[in-house]
Amino acid sequence: MTVVPPHQQLLSRRKLLHVAGASAAAPLVGVPLVGVPLPGTAPAATATTAESAAAAGSAAAADSVTVAGQTLVPAPADPDFVFTADLSNTAGAGEASPIDSAYWLGACQVTNAQYAAFLDTDAGAGHTVPSYWDDGTVPTGREQHPVLEVALADAEAFCDWLTGQADGWTFRLPAEAEWESAARGPDSYAYPWGDTAGTTYTDSVLTSNYNYNAVCAAYYLANYGSIEATYDNPESTRYGESEPVSGILTVTATGGVTGWIDHDTWTGFVYTDLFDALMATGGLTSAVGAYPDGVSAYGAYDMAGNCFEWTSSVVTATNGQEAGLDVNAVRGGSWYATGRSCTTHYRGEGRDGSGGYPTVGFRVAADQD
């Protein structure tokens, strides 16, 4: 198994100087603490299901093709497809949504570098430049991370741009049913690799098949546990108060996270200045494909975690601020999301297509004419 430490993130200048004990001339780069184990390691291959999924993913990868710079893996038609759950996440209550034709799916989420290449063309003129980029340029070290903050129209325009480069191919966003079918595979796994997450947290080291909020929590506990974080939302019941990260966040032995967010009191790590500084840099994403044991049976990576992904399907959201609104379904969870939100059957999340969001990116689907 490959050790996959998450990308070192930026902190605010004030917090960075506190961490590094440096002068005002210190660069705005996160300083790793030598000898501290980093979270986000890939687990040892001990579960038979994980081995089977990895083998299946490798077989599917052998059938992959590269078209217009995108590595695509084949996914079969499924005229009898039924969602595992309904939009309220009631297991066994999902609706039928036939997939009449085989299709191709991006092996990875679209990266910052790929999106930047699009923006540099006439087709990309006027499309969204993510706010976490440095003066319109992809931050160094983020080239292979998923692009975030792109609206639905930006993602669709990217697909149209690819179509213009590929004779005999049409690129598009996947429908929600196509996304779930490719994520859960022929055995309808709860995770792309099997029915158990397999996450452990021991001696300050997290082992995980995917990048979700426990990776972020473990990273901050290992590297900045003694650093004071300040509750900076005026709505917070603890507005202006500070406490060490280790007093806010806890990661359980199986990768659960407490102290992440409390919507009622506006407390938790999400409502601190440290988290705000992290968000300004694009969050704690990882390079696409950095969790090889998270590959799906069809050879697609990061279908659990890293970033939510746009789909072309409009649903009535049941979760979050969008609840009750007709929005485009987003699937897969993210570096910010809980483990439950990263399962292959979790539904009800959606976003208004006109906006760009700090945890939402996309991967392409394609049809061969």
Pairing mode of beta strands 250-251, 326-331: unpaired
Q: Which domain holds residue 331?
A: 1-369
Give strand pairing partners of 75: 103
The span from the CA of 42 to the CA of 20, in Å, is: 28
15: part of which helix (H) or strand (E)? helix 13-20
* Listed residue (273, 268, 272, 290) closest to 335, CA to CA: 290
User: Which of 22-36, 230-244, 256-270, 326-340 bottoms out in mean pLDDT, i.e. has the lowest?
Assistant: 22-36
| pLDDT of residue 3 exceeding 50 | no
Q: For residue 320, what pLDDT band results from cuts at 50, 70 and 90?
A: confident
Q: Which residue did the predictor score with more confidence, 11 or 322?
A: 322
Q: What is the pLDDT of residue 61?
A: 62
| Beta carbons within 8 Å of 277's beta carbon, 6+ residues apart | 10, 11, 12, 15
What is the tens place of the pLDDT at every residue in 88-145?
999 999 999 999 999 999 999 999 999 999 999 999 999 999 999 999 999 999 999 9
Residue 12 pLDDT level (bands cut at 50, 70, 90) = very low
Tell whether pTM > 0.75.
yes
pLDDT tens-digit map of 204-230: 999 999 999 999 999 999 999 999 999
In the chain, the number of structural domains is: 1
Q: CB within 8 A of 121, min separation 6: which ones? A: 161
